[in-house]
Amino acid sequence: MIRDFPNTTNLHGAPYLVEIFISRSPCSRSPQFNVAGHNYPVGCGKKILELVKQNPNVSVWKVVYDSVFNGSRNAPDPQATAQAEHMINILNRHPRVEALLWNEYQRRLV
């Protein structure tokens, strides 16, 4: 999604709202990468924050997840959980970002 976002906004303009649906909350472990000469740091949450920073014309970002990232599903890692919860808090402190569990998101729709 991040890699194709510049092409999408170039073709269609910046949307008012971007909703990102993921199975587990943003982690702190995904490798960095480069898009169009811009570096996105290690960690999904940091990448999302960088995407928000690079797209000031998008007014609202929602990151909706089903569960908090806890490392491997077969070998939960308390440190990974703590890092994920910390990243959720950081995302929620940004004035244009809201990170919330799927069931919270659903409640708001009704």
Q: According to the model, what pLDDT value does residue 63 have?
A: 98
pTM: 0.90
Q: According to the model, what pLDDT value does residue 46 have?
A: 95
Convert the pLDDT of each residue in 33-55 to its tens digit: 999 888 999 999 999 999 999 99
What angle do helix axes 78-93 and 44-54 make, rounded to 10 degrees? 20
Query: How does strand 38-40 pair with strand 60-67?
Result: unpaired
Q: Is the dihedral of CA 15, 85, 45, 25 positive or negative?
A: negative
Q: How far apart are CA 91 and CA 76, in angstroms?
A: 23
Q: Grade residue 62 by pLDDT with cuts at 50, 70 and 90.
A: very high
Q: Grade residue 74 by pLDDT with cuts at 50, 70 and 90.
A: confident
